[in-house]
Amino acid sequence: MSLTILTADELQNLEMRAANQLGADTLMKRAGAAAAELIMKRLEDAGVEQRRVTLLVGPGNNGGDALACACELREKGAVVNVVLPGGRRPTSALALAQLERWTQAGGTTYDDPYMTEKADCVVDGLFGTGLAKPITGDCLDAVLWFNERQALKVSLDIPSGLNPVTGHWTGSYPGCSADVTITFLCVKSGLYMCEGADAAGEIVLNELDVSVPLSPLSVIGTDEFPRVLRPRVKNSHKGDYGSVAVIGGTDGMIGASILAARAALISGAGRVTLECRAEHAPHVDMVYPEIMFATKPVNLEDFDAIVLGCGLGTSAEAKARVIEALNCQKPLILDADALNIIAADIKLQDMVLARRAPTVLTPHPGEAARLLRRDTAGVTADRVAACRELAVQTGAIVVLKGAGTVISMRSSRTWINPTGSPMLATGGSGDVLAGMIGAMFAQGYDMVESVLAAVYFHGLSAEGLEAGFTAGEIAPNAMALVHDARVSYDL
């Protein structure tokens, strides 16, 4: 299922409404109970009998969640240690109430986590989404202690020190890196992107029995593209699944266009034609002879989708082909050199904006930076904002690739992709994605379904793999997963 992401203001308003309706401390108690249940279950599944848990308690409501969790764990029979780094008591009234609850139950506290006994689980309840400055002093020492532990590491709501929006660390020192982050009410975009993609570990959402409103930002779920998961009808032929033209592959970069064409074929397009721009272009792909090789420039209006840019080069002839494609009225996926050509000419950007047929841009951060006239750091500083800005600037659906790929429409409706693997950091991966998107369009899926499904399964194709993976394996793996989904499809 797709998951809603709220802005800081939206989340604060939701918490205030819940507090007014349920009572000021209800959400904190529910968060503590949810975290305790998760911890006990994980330790039980791991065969841990004694279940020793040490919790780091910060000064705000995140620390209050940790104290509520400590009370619940103690009631469940765990051996619990609570640490207030430097002996600093919470400053939040709600957290202070939970500290009183803990001490009245007979609990004690430590000032230094290094003075506690060995734990089977350590819990990060130092800082939540409200952290605005780098972690320092005793709390930084507690972060270092947390990261050093050979135990199950759990962060409450968000790893301490992580910006919940951008996924970057707040300050120059890394914060807590968890095995599991149990996040409350809604997921946070920073859990999926940049440093957050590694720091969060497994992400577990608990909405605390609160109705969470919809938002224009969410995490992709399979419910976003139901038609892609539906089995094909028996009474069909290749013409029903469309035709894709792949244009690129200049001298030295033929492989990029072949990877895109193969991906389009494997991803279900009825016919795929490759217009290879190299002087000595091949005439057949002996691995996939089903791909047709054009002997002259194709008529773009003859195709249901066009993938342009993979290994295209930036010559005058390549630019002329980009202009022709921008003038055609077919779905157009622009990648790699096509993006670089457009970035270098503001008139071409105006042509992209003027298009009425669906247009998809698939930049990596460097290409996005060129299109936005800024440096790459300006894009990665806030990937969601950069993707939205580029979508408004071009009128296209923008797929900003990277850890936590961001997809945005001109309306600012935005998604973050939860799937992916560092094994996708390999040459040709982006070419394959462009071909997969083209195939989805050719098969008649709508604009949003086409892009979200391709991005989602592209990322899923490499999950669980740690070595020995190349771009040519992405589309076959992805379509094997689509096959499994269709076989188990339930009307």
Residue 128 annotated in ligand binding: yes
pLDDT at 491: 66
Residue 24 annotated in ligand binding: no
The three-state secondary structure class of 108 is coil
Residue 468 annotated in ligand binding: no
Residue 155 annotated in ligand binding: no
Residue 404 annotated in ligand binding: yes
pLDDT, one tens digit per residue, over 86-104 is 999 999 999 999 999 999 9
Residue 41 annotated in ligand binding: no
Residue 162 annotated in ligand binding: no
Question: Are 473 and 480 within 8 A, CB to CB?
Answer: no
Q: Which two tokens stand for residue 326?
A: 């921008």
Residue 427 annotated in ligand binding: no
Residue 401 annotated in ligand binding: yes
Same CATH topology for 3-215 and 222-488? no
Residue 327 annotated in ligand binding: no
Give average pLDDT by consecutive 10-residue segment, the chain, 491 residues: 92 94 96 98 94 97 98 97 97 96 96 96 96 96 98 98 97 96 98 97 98 96 96 96 98 97 98 96 96 97 98 97 98 98 97 97 98 96 98 98 97 97 97 98 97 98 96 98 93 66
Give buried/exposed letters for 48-85 (b at 16+ CB in 10 A, else e). Answer: beebbbbbbbbbbbbbbbbbbbbbbbbeeebebbbbbb
The Cα–Cα gap between 411 and 225 comes to 19
Residue 62 annotated in ligand binding: yes
Residue 177 annotated in ligand binding: no
From the list 387, 439, 437, the residue with the least C-alpha distance to 415 is: 387
pLDDT, one tens digit per residue, over 195-207 is 999 999 999 999 9
Residue 405 annotated in ligand binding: yes
Residue 196 annotated in ligand binding: no
* CA 203 centroid distance within chain: 12
How many other C-beta atoms lie within 10 A of the C-beta of residue 426? 16
Residue 64 annotated in ligand binding: yes
Class of the CATH-defined domain 222-488 = alpha beta
Residue 63 annotated in ligand binding: yes
Residue 131 annotated in ligand binding: yes
The Cα–Cα gap between 91 and 209 comes to 27
The three-state secondary structure class of 469 is coil
Residue 29 annotated in ligand binding: no
> For the domain 3-215, what is the CATH superfamily, name and number?
YjeF N-terminal domain (3.40.50.10260)
The Cα–Cα gap between 34 and 46 comes to 19
Domain ranges of the chain: 3-215, 222-488
